[in-house]
Amino acid sequence: KKKADFQGKRILITAGPTREAIDPVRYLTNRSSGRMGYALADAAVARGADVALVSGPVSLEKPEGVEFYPVQSAAEMYDRVMDLKDKADVIIMCAAVADYTPIVCAEHKMKKQDALVIEFEKTRDILAEVGKTKHAFLAGFAAETQNLEGYARDKLSRKNLDMIIANDVSGTETGFDSEYNAVSIYTRDGKAVHFTRDTKRNLADSILTEIAKISG
Ligand code: C5P
């Protein structure tokens, strides 16, 4: 039986995609299934943590034993995380937050037209904002299709993180929408740990073990 090494710890996890409304019936989103974040939440509960899960819209069942905060848009996720961040000992940002959102959401369903131009603005980077006033152990994810380590290490320092978990989403055997993943974990000491293809639930335990080693 696994020891409850996260007993008494409060973990905040973000998961899933966000939905950015274009009009009352249309939205922009991405291919995140939420599976990695939900696996982390489930594993953290099993190891004794108090878990707050902030989740974008997914088709997964809520893991048992979590405080659940469903959100839709990047802006809603931002507000919810800002409410919860100061109470957390460990924060793991697994959500695939939309990088852009329509500047205006049309009040009524847009009628068909020959060509359509929608103007987007950048969303606020939730992880980078949390990194600015850091009290908790902070871990982020990096999903890339090339130069995995370079981009991951850049995010680690730029967003003031303690750990970045990188996964290659260029293949079809792992990553988006899959039960499986393969990750490389980079930390501030310059070290790297690699975990080859496994279920997201097993990888969640491996990630938590790496976090426990550093955050104590
Ligand atoms: O820069 P990039 O979006 O690839 O960084 C990914 C990491 O940043 C993930 O941990 C993701 O949850 C987080 N992120 C965020 N808010 C955003 C964009 C990304 O929290 N607006």
Q: Which tens digits make up the pLDDT trace of 142-201?
A: 988 889 999 999 999 999 999 999 988 877 777 677 889 899 999 999 999 999 999 999
Confidence class for position 2, pLDDT limits 50, 70, 90: low
Is 154 part of any domain?
yes
- CATH code assigned at 106: 3.40.50.10300
Task: Provide the ipTM.
Answer: 0.94
Query: How would you classify residue 35: left for phi > 0, otherwise alpha for psi between -120 and 50, otherwise beta?
Result: alpha
- Do the beta carbons of residue 96 and residue 44 sit within 8 Å? no
This prediction's pTM: 0.95
Total domains present in the chain:
1
Q: Is the CB of 167 under 6 A from ligand 1?
A: no
Is 3 part of any domain?
no
Is 4 part of any domain?
no
Q: Is the CB of 73 under 6 A from ligand 1?
A: no
Catalytic residues, by residue number, are 30
Chain centroid to CA 164? 11
CA 160 – CA 162 distance, rounded (Å) = 7
Half-sphere exposure of 169 (CA within 13 A, CB side): 16
- Structural domain that includes position 156: 10-215
Mean of pLDDT over the chain? 94
How many C-beta neighbours within 10 Å does residue 179 have?
12
